[in-house]
Every structure is written in C-alpha cells, then in structure tokens.
C-alpha cells in the first residue's frame, strides 16, 4: 500500500452561511470537526480514506455556543467533550458527565466533539447511549430552515443517520431534570468488569451503592446480583420500542469500566473499547417512596440500542420498596424483551443474560433508594 499522502484541500469557514455556500458549490464534500475518529482508526492500523476536499467546522462560531434554556441546555455540535465536562453537574446531567470523563484522556476529549460522536453513529461513540437515555434532541439546519428531531429518530443504525446532503447537525438539546438514581455499565467480549478496588459507593453520588463479587464469566457470563453496581463507557442506538412499536432504552451509582478483556476501576482511562458489546445505562427519580420516572437502555452492535418504554411504564408510579411479585414481573418482561432482539444486537449468549441481570440490578437499586432528610434547626 502506498504511503504517499494525496493532496487535500481543507475549507475553514467561520459561519454557517459560509458552510452552506461551500456545500452548494462542492457536492459530496466531507465535513470534519475534531477528527478523533480518523486518529483512532490510524492507531488501530485501519485504512482511512478521506475525500480530496474537506470542510473543517472547528472555526464556525455558531457551532461552539452553549445556551441555557428554562428546562434544557443546548450544546453546539462543535463543542468538545472536555468543555462539556467543565460545565459541571448543575448544567449537564451527572450521568452524561460521568460517561464523558471516562472517554480516552483529556487531550482526546479536547478534540472530540459532541456532534462528531453523534454523527458517527458508531459503537465506539461513548456519548450516544446517555444522550439517547436522556431523550436528547438534535438541531438539523438547512440554508433556509431548521428543525429539532429526537436523537432516537436521527440515528438509523450503525454508521447511518437521517441527514440530507444540504443539511448539517448544529446542536443537541438536553432536558435538565434531576435524577437521584443512576447506573452505567459496559462489558467487553469476555464479560470483564472491575472486581476489586476502591469503594464503589463513591461513584455518581450514591451513598448506598453496593457491589457483590462477580462469578467467572464463562458460560453464564458475569453473575450480577441485585445489589451489583457497575458502570463504564457508552453505546449507540438503532431502534426503540414503545407500547405500540417496540424500541430500546437506562442510571446510577458506582461507575466502573471494562475494555479489551481487562477492567479498570472508575476514574482510570480505558482504551480498546471497540471490543465492548454490551452497554447499559439507567436513570430513575424517587420521591416520597414513589418512582416518578424510570428509564433504561441497552447498547449493542446492530441495532445500536434497545429500549422498552412499555416496561418502563410498569415501574413509573410504583411504591418502593418493590414487592417480590413486581420484581418477578419486571424480570420476566425484560427477559422476554431481550429475546426479541436480533442476534446481531448481542451476539454472545452471556451478554443477553447479563442484559437481564443488569436491569434487575438497577430495579433493586431503585427499590433500595432512600431520600436523605435534613432536619430543620429550631429557631
């Protein structure tokens, strides 16, 4: 293979108007932001084919803005992952920040953009799963119009997005509700995940998080007890299920990560996440012993994600702690739902079993959640 680098022309517009003018004059031209996907492919020894002409979006001011709305935050597509982390949990959902903190290292996060992570629609895009879980919306802009669409509709499958030739992704909008139970897990091909290390109760601010020791991930895969609290990197989406049209979706406590057959404790950098096949994220709100919101999502290969709003609805409005019957019905529904997934979603049988165990573990965590009351001081 030739090592000669072909000449390339890179346009560097400073406004969206200039971007659209270039797109009109150069049909089929490529767009690039941080370029970290190209760097990752080069690092893996994979061939990288770039068009002879590119549009760099790094200098487009409109794509680097962050706006706080009454109940949401809008983040420009060219905003880096590191900048999002710097906003803190008061502006960005904590689960999303925890996931981004475990993406590569700060240098890579300073280059990687939120728009790039979405537009790639890749199993390696760590930001996708929590964004899908949070019901994020994407702003798609044309020369004379724009529209907001749900991220779950924008992602069509691995490497496929709903974007027309003269249309670009300009921003993502996140709702800002408070979540008091969170969970995020990522398992590799062998089912590896942290089995020792620091106190899992530190992660994600859950003081009651426990973690049981995992069994050998042989035929059964990781044995996740209801008290297991794990967490790691991301995932993406492919199809979702509602009561009428089945689809996919996950929040809370200790956060760990596993990759390429090895596991590292929460807070460490993780590399080689391309081998990860199962991701799980979940969020819940519990107020006065009542579940006011409950959602979970699995990330796989193809489709990129699965979520069942029908199963989520079974838990919303329920009182905690849950009865054995409620837990049994939930586990039965989850197992039946995972059975409907195509083989390409979770190719390994133990990943399918682990997907059910993770959902049960999160339900247990939600059931054990207790609000912290701060007594008022007498005057």
Please report, for the domain that includes residue 24, its CATH number. 3.30.43
Q: What is the CA radius of gyration of the chain?
A: 21
CA dist 85 and 95 (Å) reads 11
Residue 92: both structure tokens together: 């960005």
Distance set, CA 37 to CA 47, 104, 114, 250 (Å) = 12, 12, 12, 26
CA dist 82 and 215 (Å) reads 36
**Inside any domain, residue 337:** yes
Please report, for the domain that includes residue 157, its CATH number. 3.30.465.10
**Inside any domain, residue 375:** no
Nearest-CA neighbor of 318 among 251, 369, 254?
Answer: 369
Q: What is the pTM of this model?
A: 0.76
The total number of structural domains in the chain stands at 3
For residue 355, the tally of other CB atoms under 10 A from its CB is: 28
pLDDT at 360: 97
**Inside any domain, residue 353:** yes
pLDDT at 274: 41
**Inside any domain, residue 376:** no
Does residue 269 sit in the same domain as residue 324?
A: yes
Does residue 250 sit in the same domain as residue 166?
A: no
**Inside any domain, residue 3:** no
- Range of the structural domain that residue 200 is part of: 181-368
Does residue 213 sit in the same domain as residue 87?
A: no
pLDDT at 266: 28
Does residue 82 sit in the same domain as residue 53?
A: no
End-to-end Cα spacing for the chain: 80
Please report, for the domain that includes residue 351, its CATH number. 3.30.390.50
Does residue 227 sit in the same domain as residue 145?
A: no
Burial class (CB in 10 A: 0-12, 13-18, 19+), 228: buried
Does residue 325 sit in the same domain as residue 193?
A: yes
pLDDT tens series, the chain, 379 aa: 444 455 578 889 999 999 999 999 988 888 888 776 676 666 777 776 777 788 889 899 999 999 999 999 999 999 999 999 999 988 999 999 999 998 878 888 988 999 999 998 988 888 999 999 999 999 999 999 999 999 999 999 999 999 988 899 999 999 987 899 999 998 876 555 432 222 233 334 343 333 322 322 333 333 333 323 333 332 223 333 333 333 333 322 222 222 222 222 222 222 223 445 799 999 999 999 999 999 999 999 999 999 999 999 999 999 999 999 999 999 999 999 999 999 999 988 889 999 999 999 999 999 999 877 555 555 5
Number of helical (H) and strand (E) elements in the chain, helices listed first: 11, 16
Q: Which residues contact 116 (CB under 8 A, 6 or more apart)?
A: 33, 34, 36, 37, 77
Residue 97: both structure tokens together: 């920040």
**Inside any domain, residue 287:** yes
Does residue 171 sit in the same domain as residue 254?
A: no
């Amino acid at each position: 293979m030739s090592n000669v680098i072909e000449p390339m022309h890179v346009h560097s517009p400073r406004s969206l108007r200039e971007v659209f003018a270039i797109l009109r004059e150069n049909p089929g031209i490529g767009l690039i932001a941080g370029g970290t996907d190209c760097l990752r492919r080069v690092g893996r020894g994979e061939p990288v084919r770039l068009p002879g002409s590119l549009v760099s979006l790094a200098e487009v001011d409109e794509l680097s803005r962050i706006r706080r709305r009454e109940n949401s935050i809008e983040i420009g597509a060219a905003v880096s992952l590191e900048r999002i982390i710097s906003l803190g949990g008061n502006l960005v959902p904590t689960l999303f920040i925890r996931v981004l903190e475990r993406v590569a290292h700060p240098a890579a996060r300073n280059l990687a953009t939120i728009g790039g992570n979405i537009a790639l629609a890749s199993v390696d895009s760590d930001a996708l799963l929590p964004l899908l879980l949070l019901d994020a919306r994407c702003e798609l802009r044309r020369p004379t119009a724009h529209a907001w669409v749900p991220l779950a509709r924008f992602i069509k499958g691995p490497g496929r997005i709903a974007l027309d030739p003269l249309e670009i992704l300009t921003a993502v909008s996140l709702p800002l509700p408070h979540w008091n139970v969170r969970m995020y897990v990522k398992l590799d091909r062998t089912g590896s995940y942290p089995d020792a290390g620091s106190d899992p109760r530190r992660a994600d601010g859950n003081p009651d998080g426990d973690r049981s020791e995992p069994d050998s991930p042989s035929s059964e895969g990781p044995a996740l007890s209801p008290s297991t609290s794990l967490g790691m990197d991301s995932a993406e989406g492919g199809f979702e299920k509602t009561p009428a049209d089945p689809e996919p979706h996950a929040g809370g406590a200790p956060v760990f990560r596993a990759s390429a057959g090895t596991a590292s404790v929460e807070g460490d950098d993780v590399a080689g996440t391309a081998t990860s096949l199962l991701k799980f994220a979940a969020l819940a709100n519990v107020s006065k012993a009542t579940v006011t919101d409950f959602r979970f999502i699995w990330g796989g290969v193809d489709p990129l994600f699965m979520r069942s709003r029908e199963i989520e609805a079974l838990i919303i409005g329920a009182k905690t702690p849950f009865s054995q019957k409620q837990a049994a019905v939930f586990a039965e529904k989850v197992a039946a739902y995972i059975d409907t997934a195509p083989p390409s979603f979770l190719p390994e049988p133990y990943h399918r079993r682990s997907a059910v165990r993770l959902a049960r573990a999160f339900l247990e965590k939600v059931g054990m959640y207790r609000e912290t009351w701060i007594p008022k001081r007498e005057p």
